[in-house]
Structure 1
Amino acid sequence: MRITPASNPSLEDLMLRRIRTTVAAALCCTALGAGIAGCDGDALDNWDPMAPATTKTADAAPISGTEKIHVAGRSVNVSCSGDPKKGEPVIMLMHGAGDGLDKLAAIQKTLSEQNRVCSYDRLGSGASDQPDGPQSFSSTGKILTGVLDRVAGDNPVVLAGHSLGGLIAARYAPDHQDRVKGLVLMDATPPTMLDDIEKAIPESATGPAAELRAQNLAVFQGENPEKLVMTDGKVRSAGDIPVEVIQHGKQYLAALPEYGPRLEQAWAAGQRKWLALSSDSKLSTAKNSEHYIYVDQPDVAVKAIERVTAQAARQAHGE
């Protein structure tokens, strides 16, 4: 939808609503105004942070469709499709915050025609358990490890993440180079987004910008459904694995009055920073997409994921 200057209250309301949803969906990785998830899961004494994730079980039946699995004492909702092939890469799709694996169903179906593809709801998302307390990149990574143990076993993995899912994937890969053999980041939350927001929207800002700034800072401090505290950090190398970074082409962040252009510049700079993940990385632009690239231009996302998966497969076979 194209934004035009407000000429009456209804248009002004419409513009503000769009700013709050589309801009915040990228920056906060969740829509502003969304209810913070309650702690309705198991009691705290059922949560064992030292418990092993899951055991790699080669004889376990491959998951087909959607299934609940137990990871570190928690129930995690997982979906897998496509034929499993020993030694071939398994694609793991990772949703943005405020979303769930259902949002990825269409692209998963397309990719599964030629690949083994899985997705999962992180704690606090979709049909998975709620977190009992604050999460970190380390703790959410432990859940990812448990899921991969179950769905991929010893097979190589390609992580394809959108928004917050991309940020988590990029933070996870450097510490798991024995398993993660490819990355696709679809408009991933930049590695220094917290600092970027504070610089792009000064504390002196008023109106919608001030509200957006305050709510973003709160989200990054853990006031989000996943209770994930998102800290800035340097981009660490994940080796020489194939990495494709895709950024949005439609500059919808510019919709924020006065500070929008700064946000667009910071976001674009953040996408370039992710190129340091690998010596074999490249950046492209989905020209007709806003934040949800895999929805706006699914063909762009699918081709990128398939390219990285094919390259990961060749490397796994020593070609």
Structure 2
Amino acid sequence: MIRHHRASTAIALACAVAGAGLVGCEEASTADSKPSASASAAGGADEAAEMASFTGTKKIKVEGRSVNVSCSGSPVEGRPVVVLLHGGGDGLDKLAGFQKTLGEKDRTCSYDRLGAGASDQPDGPQTLEDGGKVLTAVLDQVAGDAPVVLAGHSLGGLIAARYAPDHQDKVKGLVLMDATSPTQSADLSKEIPESATGMAVDLREQTLAILRGESPEKLVVPDGEVRSAGNIPVEVIQHGKQYLAAVPEYGPDLERAWSDGQQKWLAISGDSELSTAGNSEHYIYVDEPDVAVAAIERVVSKAAG
């Protein structure tokens, strides 16, 4: 995440801090998000069953937009489907190896959000509610009637945590891997004041712009309170290597604020736990995949009851 010149370092750190970065550090077939009215009940059921068990990569249609999805592994009776949410500036390709490993035990899927990877571009600025509609359509197709565990990295973690409280009938567990803080804009504005100079200014300005929707996803990410998703199992994993300390003068405070943000996410459930991946920077599932895999498998097992 740390690069060789001041500007590129600030951009790389903005990717991490915002979770909606500027850099992301099989031929598809098409399926409609809903069966056509002319499809027979049996045909629609067969199509849904096929979609909920396919492996590989497909393009699906969501409200007229093409969304790229990928799945590994077969459905396991009694166990939720794992759905991975990538960080900002990334796509499902970044998660491919991680998804394959998880798919050896549980059906695991991922998707490119609009404006990311091989999915269509959004028509304009997106809200979290807009993104939630796309996620719902993806879950309906790749998981069918099965419950899901959402595992999100960075911005993907924030999206998963914002989505779960309104979809407790479907989301039965969460794993948040260095998720963007629920109060990221306020945190950054507080820790890097207007009087700051140098790299810190670049970091603050670029990150706040990203959170206002000035990124390929055009996703506007406002600060907000952490809402409860009930007592579903939740594991929050934070990075252990203090890479944000690379920001002169303000680095230690940024690290503290990031850790505070991870603590805030614990309020999402009465059954939440926080752990630290000691040998990881921001990309925990890349630096310490075994840690992330173990956390997801624990949450899936708890959710399966």
> What TM-score do the two structures reach when normalised by structure 2?
0.90
Are 2:19 and 1:29 equivalent residues in the alignment? yes
Are 2:151 and 1:160 equivalent residues in the alignment? yes
SS at match of 1:14: coil
Are 2:298 and 1:307 equivalent residues in the alignment? yes
Q: What count of residue pairs does the alignment treat as equivalent? A: 287
1:273 corresponds to which of 226, 251, 264:
264
Query: Partners of 1:291 and 1:137 in 2: how far apart?
Result: 22
For residues 170-213 of structure 1, the C-alpha deviation after alignment (integer angstroms, 9 at most, x for no partner) is 00000000000000000000100010010010011111111111
Q: 1:19 corresponds to which residue?
A: 9
Query: Partners of 2:146 and 2:19 in 1: how far apart?
Result: 30
Aligned-residue RMSD, C-alpha: 2.0
SS at match of 2:152: strand
The 3 A distance-change label for structure 1 pair 53 and 231 is farther
Are 2:139 and 1:148 equivalent residues in the alignment? yes
CA contact (8 A) 2:15 2:207 kept: no
For residues 31-52 of structure 1, the C-alpha deviation after alignment (integer angstroms, 9 at most, x for no partner) is 45x59xxxxxxxxxxxxxxxx9
The 3 A distance-change label for structure 1 pair 168 and 30 is closer
Q: Unaligned stretches of 5+ in structure 1?
A: 4-12, 36-51, 315-319
The 5 Å alignment of 1:58-97 reads 58-60=45-47, 61=50, 62-97=53-88
Offset, 1:19 = 2.8
The one-letter amino acid paired with 2:177 is M
Query: Partners of 1:161 and 1:88 in 2: how far apart?
Result: 19
For residues 141-165 of structure 1, the C-alpha deviation after alignment (integer angstroms, 9 at most, x for no partner) is 0000000000111101000000000
Offset, 1:244 = 0.0
Query: Partners of 2:20 and 2:226 in 1: how far apart?
Result: 23
Query: Partners of 2:283 and 2:224 in 1: how far apart?
Result: 24
SS at match of 2:58: strand
Offset, 1:257 = 0.5
CA contact (8 A) 1:249 1:288 kept: yes
Query: Partners of 1:196 and 1:115 in 2: how far apart?
Result: 37
Query: Partners of 2:14 and 2:285 in 1: how far apart?
Result: 18
Query: Partners of 1:84 and 1:15 in 2: how far apart?
Result: 47
> What TM-score do the two structures reach when normalised by structure 1?
0.86
Query: Partners of 2:211 and 2:79 in 1: how far apart?
Result: 36
The one-letter amino acid paired with 1:217 is L
Report percent identity of matched pairs: 68
SS at match of 1:262: helix
Q: Unaligned stretches of 5+ in structure 2?
A: 25-31, 36-40
The 5 Å alignment of 1:110-259 reads 110-259=101-250
CA contact (8 A) 2:79 2:301 kept: no
Query: Partners of 1:14 and 1:235 in 2: how far apart?
Result: 36
Query: Partners of 1:154 and 1:31 in 2: how far apart?
Result: 33
CA contact (8 A) 2:7 2:202 kept: no
Query: Partners of 1:280 and 1:31 in 2: how far apart?
Result: 30
